[in-house]
Chains A and B, each alone.
Chain A
Amino acid sequence: MAVQRVLEQRVIGPELYALTFSAPLKLSEGGYEPGQFLHLRVTDSFDFVLRRPLSLCQVHVERNALTVMYRAQGAGTRRLARLRAGDAIDVLGPLGKGFPLHAGDRRALLIGGGIGVPPLVELARHLHAQGSEVVSVIGFQTADQIILREELKAYGQVHLVTDDGTEGVRGRVTDVLTPEQCEGVTRYYACGPTPMLRAVQTVLRERDIPGYLSLEERMGCGIGICVGCVHKVRREGRESYVKTCVEGPVFPAEEVVFS
């Protein structure tokens, strides 16, 4: 943990921002996983007592910098959006457990919804680098919300879905997950709103494809001391609440319980 420098704040859509800052670790030495998050303090005062967990979107090894993306829809994220290049930012992380990679995977299916798409970019880069074929299915409410399509295209095929049909296929990401589309998929990775994750889990369980879900819970400390961000999992037949900040945010899809 340390105070970092903002390198760039970019508007990428309505209320959507990409924030790039110096990394709190030496990226050329690794030490991070796609799917992990950075826990950002909004200001150096205590007006906002909780940090904002934002998933790692892009790693820039040459600049030793990280990019996160977020929607400024609350007071805290709107304050974050006021940061400019050169400003200081208190960054904790990368924290949590990210997306595990499996070297033998022939074809990986990446599914993202809205502001859940960002962590898939760094994941796609890693999967592509290990020789897995990457197919992305990304969904947004409407055309002007689309982010990261070109970035994902650099690693493989991208299927675009919008709720209102203003671009791509009209509907939900699960509408694209047909048996034909899932042919040959060895594993899936999903990040997005809870209703999407639940639907994806149900559909891909039927297709017998193993995968991972990156969960979204309201988070406090990010290091496992407040026990606020728990989610229910089933392990060895027993259900219990586990902390998404330290045991997640990524979990094997088969153990995640949605109530």
Chain B
Amino acid sequence: MNLAVKVGSLHLKNPVMPASGCFSFGKEVAAFYDLSVLGAIVVKATTLDERQGNKTPRLAETAAGMLNAIGLQNPGVERVIETELPPLRKYGIPIIVNVAGNAMEDYVQVVERLNDSPDVSAIELNISCPNVKCGGIQFGTDPEMAASMVRAVKRASRTPVIVKLSPNVTSISEMALAVEEAGADAISLINTLIGMKIDIARRAPLLANGQGGLSGPAIKPIAVRMVYEVTSHVKIPVIGIGGITTGEDVVEFLLAGAQAIQVGTANFTDPLACKRIIEELHAYCDEAGVKDINTLIGAAKPHAKGRFL
């Protein structure tokens, strides 16, 4: 049975990778299992300088999901290159670095620094963090700004550029087409949906930041729909993200058209989530008689069955 997939020039032994911000830089989860079982690893959003993030509370649980407003707390690109990435080498899997910033120059500078690291396999361009005033979301909601960002980063980057899209837009396909046109090598979607929880005892928003990003199984149907829609419009590979907790969820995203997937919130519920999901995916393929997982990609679409969209 073949679980290996390709995302552009990236070769993954299976389609499962942790989502940025849901795995830190890997070392904590490495205490639970050997990370070499993963298709790839996506590390926490990295900015030019160290960031402390938002005030607390930063988290709130919701029905089958959660809100977060971490605010991109990270040690800055220099320390990421020097201390966080080298220990990941030994797993022999692609390392994808999520890049965030305020202005376009910040993104370009981070990407230029990452060019010097031998550990980086690809960049995931974070133009979709909803939790900081200037965290790139302004680039993630305007097709023209997104396209100019992608062009600048593509010029600067030695490695493939995956653009992570926000669902908080009127047309996700318009955004996807704009970044494809600008030269993106792949797209990942969706980042979190903006939400809010009110603390009825305090009669005020629960999160210190007011609003936060909704993730978890609650958003999965939205993510599946967006993956289905975007993969019907663009030719570049799409990585599906949103509420994946089981191997069957992965199959659903692949059938919708995703080339690979990312697991986010489930890592918080269960540190073994990614490993378990890979095992479940294997078991599914076994039982369903799927010899090559690539045959599942986009197979839920009408054209895959000889019909038109």
Contact = CB atoms under 8 A, between A and B. Distances in A.
Interface of A: 1, 41, 46-51, 76, 90, 92, 217-221, 223-231, 240-241, 246, 259
A240 B51 CA distance: 10
Given A1-B32, A49-B61, 12 more contacts: A1-B271, A47-B63, A49-B216, A49-B268, A50-B59, A51-B268, A223-B29, A225-B29, A227-B70, A230-B56, A230-B58, A241-B53
A46 B61 contact: no
Given A49-B265, A225-B22, A225-B267, A219 B59 contact: yes
A228 B268 CA distance: 11
B53 A230 contact: yes
Chief secondary structure at chain A's binding surface: loop
A149 to B, nearest CB: 28
Interface of B: 21-24, 28-29, 31-32, 44, 52-53, 55-61, 63-66, 68, 70, 73, 216-217, 245, 265-272
Closest 4 CB pairs between A and B?
A228-B59, A221-B268, A225-B24, A224-B28
Chief secondary structure at chain B's binding surface: loop
B222 to A, nearest CB: 16
A49 B264 CA distance: 11
A94 to B, nearest CB: 14
Contact of A229 (B52, B59, B63): B59
Contacts of B21: 226-227
Contacts of B29: 223, 225
A223 B53 contact: no
Contacts of B60: 218
Nearest to A51: B269
25 contacts: A46-B64, A46-B216, A46-B245, A47-B63, A49-B61, A49-B65, A49-B217, A51-B269, A218-B59, A219-B59, A220-B59, A221-B268, A223-B31, A223-B32, A225-B22, A225-B267, A227-B24, A227-B53, A227-B58, A227-B70, A229-B56, A230-B53, A230-B58, A230-B73, A240-B52
Contact of B68 (A92, A223, A226, A231): A226
B68 to A, nearest CB: 6
A217 to B, nearest CB: 6
Contacts of B272: 1
Given A220-B66, A230-B53, A48 B61 contact: yes
